[in-house]
Structure 1
């Protein structure tokens, strides 16, 4: 009896080991291989809801040799970028699971680590077109076997964004969508469209910029280009070289983590079409009535809801701010103030929101605000969390004056509009006096259209 039990366990172990051996992993290289340089080899790893933890390598010559690969389903290709150390990207497993949660799709991780892993960046760049040719041939094989190009979504990171662009160009822009996460800037900035990603490479191209002053591309490359915190320095990332590797990659990698947050639906980050980040912070670009739906687009995976409006409007730049930690969402309030004072006043405005013991502060200090006689001034107040209901508000007008008389500012009305919560009421207060450098508290009331 014990012998049969032992043999049964051994058979089960052998079966499990056989199943495990069928899994194919992302190429993991040692640093010395990257140092010596690697020759390009493109491996396509298939993941579906049926094999989320077990990638299966697809043959480049046949799309029908693996039953898991269903050509009637939509297909997402995930294409990584430059890998100077040869290590696999830490985010691959996360993006596979989150994509699978969105839809029953084929998820193909394009592993071109052999070719991207090279201390010589120029070599990795040269390999982008070769990798694109390889992927293109596979997609053409898919098409010949019944797959629709319109159901294919290419998601490219850094150099992978330009690989996706080359694939799209080879397929005459018929790919359904390209998502570019901080497309690489070095050797691609200032180049013509045929040498980089551009809007003609797919039916819809959305781009997320997070490191435009270093590793990322500054220019607009898609139908919509999102610029997080202006597109350059990201909150929470190191500011000095003494932080080591993180100083170089944190801003660049933030694009991936923002996209992952858009997939897990922890919060929707709204972006505001605008000519510049400065204009956005000045509160000049807070309305999107021309869009369908009549709201500003959200960042990341679900932006395709605004596809028709964006294609009609042409290339669009959109800006937003984030917190330093996931899920990165800020709560934005449009603040409209009507003042009644004889002389022009300049200063920084600090607004605090209270709900029970919770307090949130927004300091509008990117530039001095100007208040003139009987003039409406619009500000943008950004808070790190969503607070509701709001029981009390304080406002402080800071001028920096330490001597002389305290100037006063009379507000005929202050109105706060929660931009990301349009169903909530606007909050108002009428006829109040601010004394410079002094906090004034008030309980907000519902706004009355008949008043100022």
Structure 2
């Protein structure tokens, strides 16, 4: 106690200059400020693995007195989008923690809330170019102090994805990577590449689409474009306007939450190159032959193994599906059936997998399937749970027939191939008679043929 009082007295008389302990935080505005409009101001907040909870504001002009900013490390810069209410994005803190947990990574949050916060979306779009000029000027300062442009990764959400694209263009496409999370569509759909994100803006550009019919961009923007659930309506998002704000933003925001799950490694989103979502659902694109010898692309942070092949291939579209809730993982099987019927049958198929008392079900009902005599039919079955080992399979053939004779469907062979699980056995069964709208169950056995 005496020593503490002595130190206090010395400080009072000699003048103590303690180190600044406060953390710098993201600009928090209210709706009134957004309604009145804000003038552009860009704030750069640094986080590292040593300080993931405490941001340190970086100077735009002087990097010589920034001991926490190690320019020999990789740098991830997070760029938010349009902020109509002025409130900070709810996802920024979580993303900072996950990015800072990567090996030797600086995380810089680009806070351009003053400029993005405006009830007038047109004004925010106009400010995006100036925000990009500010960011590119800072990156040039980083380069002057020894940073490599190829070690910089820009992660942009919505309007922020196009800001990242403008930054990349200003730096002649030498930025290492740009990740666009559902890039904004309004005022950008249909414009030339110079006025939006495009593959020439970085050495590697990957894009995720989750709301392309409303707030997101419709067409391909990167070296690889991932389309979650087709890129439009996301499972679990409201279908009615009576759900309020969530009805408008849920699909758009899902892009961020999928990226967070991928960062957290709670789910591996393996995607399949395909020309359309319909072809993907039909099971026509369940291998990654166009990218061989590279593995199938996986949406998320780690792109090693397939990035270079994708860049060489040109623009690639890849599709994957998710569940309605976090961690959004789907368990997928390729289903191959050979039917034997004198007459053509039409219908949809419902599959159930059983493991002990656990059961998971999927309806392959995106379109009515045509089953013909001695014809191989391929489908994609996706389940909300990954059950292993599978002890029983139930199958139901559903038609629109309500009255009249009961139609039957004879399956000579049915095979389930687990996707993304090369060490698991293929599941087969032979010669099953299905009566329409009636469930039949069987125990799978190892397949006799190497494939069909």
| TM-score, length basis structure 1 | 0.96
Alpha-carbon RMSD: 2.1
CA distance in 1, matches of 2:9, 2:281: 66
> Do residues 231 (structure 1) and 201 (structure 2) align?
no
Q: Show CA shifts across 1:24-68 (max 9, x none).
A: 000001111101100000000000111111100000002222100
Deviation at 1:194, TM superposition (A): 0.3
In structure 1, C-alpha distance between the alignment counterparts of 2:266 and 2:20, rounded to whole Å: 34
Instruction: Provide the rounded CA distance (Å) in 2 between the counterparts of 1:58 and 1:255.
Output: 28
In the alignment, which residue of structure 2 is the partner of 1:221? 221
The answer to whether the 8 Å contact 1:289/1:295 transfers is no
Specify every segment of 5 or more residues in structure 2 that has no aligned partner in the other structure, as ranges. 11-15
Flag the 1:332–1:388 CA change in 2: closer, same or farther, 3 A. same
* Correspondence 1:227-306 to 2 at 5 A: 227-292=227-292, 294-306=294-306
User: Shift of the alpha carbon at 1:320?
Assistant: 1.4
Contact 2:206–2:225 (CA under 8 A) maintained in structure 1: yes
The corresponding residue for 2:445 is: 445
Structure 1: segments with no counterpart, 5+ residues: none
Alpha-carbon shift at residue 451 of structure 1 (Å): 8.6
CA contact (8 A) 1:287 1:295 kept: no
Q: Judge conservation of contact 2:76–2:106 (CA < 8 Å) in 1.
A: yes
Give, in whole Å, the separation in 1 of the partners of 2:314 and 2:451: 39
CA distance in 2, matches of 1:169, 1:87: 29
SS in structure 1 at match of 2:154: strand
1:327-342 alignment to 2 at 5 Å? 327-342=327-342
- Tell me how far 1:289 sits from its aligned partner: 2.9
Measured in 2, the distance between the counterparts of 1:330 and 1:7 equals 64
**110-119 or 280-289: which moved more?**
280-289
Q: 2:13 aligns to what?
A: none
Secondary structure (helix, strand or coil) at the match of 1:206 reads strand
- For 1:41 and 1:72, the matched residues in 2 are separated by 27
Counterpart for residue 21 of structure 2: 20
User: For residues 199-224 of structure 1, what are the alpha-carbon distances to aligned partners after superposition, in whole Å with 9 as ceiling and x for unaligned?
Assistant: 00000000001111111100100001
Aligned-residue offset at 1:325: 0.4
CA distance, structure 2, for counterparts of residue 129 and residue 76 of structure 1: 20
Task: Tell me which residue corresponds to 1:193.
Answer: 193
What's the offset of the Cα at 1:271?
1.2
Q: How does 1:266-415 map to 2 (within 5 A)?
A: 266-292=266-292, 294-415=294-415
**Alpha-carbon distance change, 124 to 7 in structure 1, aligned in 2, over 3 angstroms:** farther
Q: Cα offset for 1:190?
A: 0.7
Query: Deviation of residue 274 (structure 1)?
Result: 0.8
For residues 201-253 of structure 1, give each alpha carbon's deviation from its aligned partner in whole angstroms, at most 9, with x where no partner exists: 00000000111111110010000111111111111111111111111111110
Equivalenced residue count is 449
Instruction: Supply the distance in 2 between the matched residues of 1:51 and 1:35 (Cα, whole angstroms).
Output: 34
Return the offset for 1:20.
3.4
Displacement, 1:450? Answer: 6.7
For the pair 1:127 / 2:130, whether they are aligned, the reply is no
Residue pair 1:59, 1:65 contacting (<8 A) in 2 also: no
Deviation at 1:19, TM superposition (A): 4.6
Q: Secondary structure at the match of 1:400?
A: coil
CA spacing shift, 1:7–1:219, aligned 2, 3 Å? farther
